Amino acid sequence: MSTLRLDPDYQRAVAPFATIVPPVADDAATLRRFNNAAIAASMTLYHVPENNTTETKLDYTSLDGTPLTLHRFTPGPNNTTTTTTSPAGKPAVLYIHGGGFVSGSVPLFRKDIIAYATLSNTTFFAPAYRLAPESPHPLPLQDIYAALEYLHAHAAELAIDPARIALMGVSAGGGLAAAAALLARDRRLEPRVARLVLVYPMLDDRTRLGGEGSLLSGHLTWTEKKNEIGWGAYLGDGAARGRDGGDDDGGATGKVPQQYAAPARAEDVSGLPRTYIDVGGLDLFRGECMEFGARLASALVDVEFHLYPGVPHAWEWVSGNAPVTKQAVENRVRVLRDL
């Protein structure tokens, strides 16, 4: 018998929307439209701390030569949270927004970025990476890895310490952050990525509901159908079907092997940065996140893992006052302050 149930505080927060039936998407274009609308609506309910964060835009180039924008969010001088500055500069976070590979944008996630930049008093950088299906794997990952290389190359002028750069990703952005960390490890990027912060990351294209998992379906906000559309758009011709995607060229041509398409498929996860993972107990990704965390721990990677019962995917944006949300945000901020 299933013991799955909604967290009561979350349930009270979403009660006004209980009668709304979300539309069902059948393709990537429709999912993008519906998902962007849902994110925008959720963000209107998302409380962001009072701040005077400054947003600026930087130009950088992806691995294939495509010009892109890197958004910089700098907390104002009145922020009371202290951040340790080394002789090499301050820590920084490269934040990868979510959206199931097919939707989302830096502007849509602006509130989330500002919240964590303000609460941790840390400069955040967010790449406007390309989306599938127009730009399938490996293009989004190339965009993100190029942004990481940009931070390394321009660390002095940006006043950041290249040895204290974290990768933080939300949902699909979490999967891309994990893939970028794998790529940085294998290409021997120095200094190494300092921390990996994965917020309910989308890691495994093989995830399906089955058996007892069907009991979870009634609670899902990111459904199995959405997941199939997102992965299908991102993988294109099936980039992650096999575990061996070929040899890495070491970055000589800018190509990214297919084995980085779905981080859960990586055969070797040793040598990754200290990793934080959290996921809701009513999230489609709960199993893949638990398995990935366990594999990291078995590979002697320092892992902090949290499973929050009673909440689905992206729950915190619509239930800011719920204790489970406050606990999750507190844990994420603590990790970010420890860079």
3-state secondary structure 148-209: HHHHHHCHHHHCEEEEEEEEEEECHHHHHHHHHHHHHHHCCCCCCCCEEEEECCCCCCCCCC
Tens digit of pLDDT for each residue in 56-67?
Answer: 999 999 999 999
For residue 51 the two structure tokens come to 């701040």
> Which residue has better confidence, 155 or 212?
155
273 CA to centre of own chain: 15
For residue 186 the two structure tokens come to 């294998």
Alpha-carbon distance 286 to 295, whole Å? 14
Neighbour-count burial for 91-109, b at 16+ CB within 10 Å, e otherwise: bbbbbbbbbbbbbbbbebb
Strands ordered across the beta sheet of 160-170: 54-61, 67-74, 123-127, 90-96, 160-170, 195-199, 274-280, 303-308
The amino acid occupying position 16 is P
Q: Does 1 score more than 80 pLDDT?
A: no
Alpha-carbon distance 123 to 304, whole Å? 23
Tens digit of pLDDT for each residue in 135-147?
Answer: 999 999 999 999 9
Kindly list the structural domains of the chain, giving each domain's residue range(s) and its CATH number in brackets, ordered by start: 8-82+92-337 (3.40.50.1820)
In the prediction, which pLDDT does 143 show?
Answer: 98
Contacts of 259 (CB under 8 A, 6+ apart): 240, 243, 244, 245, 246, 265, 266
Neighbour-count burial for 119-129, b at 16+ CB within 10 Å, e otherwise: bbbbbbbbbbb
In the prediction, which pLDDT does 197 show?
Answer: 98
Residue 85 pLDDT grade (very low, low, confident, very high; cuts 50, 70, 90): low
Residue 213 pLDDT grade (very low, low, confident, very high; cuts 50, 70, 90): low
In the prediction, which pLDDT does 238 show?
Answer: 57
In the prediction, which pLDDT does 212 show?
Answer: 57
Tens digit of pLDDT for each residue in 188-211?
Answer: 999 999 999 999 999 999 998 876
Residue 113 pLDDT grade (very low, low, confident, very high; cuts 50, 70, 90): very high
Residue 181 pLDDT grade (very low, low, confident, very high; cuts 50, 70, 90): very high
Q: Chain-wide mean pLDDT for the chain?
A: 91
Tens digit of pLDDT for each residue in 68-84?
Answer: 999 999 998 765 555 66
Cβ–Cβ under 8 Å, residues 7 and 280: no
> Which residue has better confidence, 3 or 76?
76
Q: Does 48 score more than 90 pLDDT?
A: no
Handedness of CA 252, 257, 262, 266 (dihedral sign): negative
Query: Percent of the chain scored above 90 by pLDDT?
Result: 80
Tens digit of pLDDT for each residue in 235-272?
Answer: 986 544 443 334 444 344 455 566 799 999 999 999 99
Least confident of 88-92, 152-156, 193-197, 284-288: 88-92
The amino acid occupying position 222 is W
> Which residue has better confidence, 258 or 224?
224
Tens digit of pLDDT for each residue in 273-310?
Answer: 999 999 999 999 999 999 999 999 999 999 999 999 99
Tens digit of pLDDT for each residue in 308-332?
Answer: 999 999 999 999 999 999 999 999 9
Q: Is 148 exposed, middle or buried (0-12, 13-18, 19+ CB in 10 A)?
A: buried
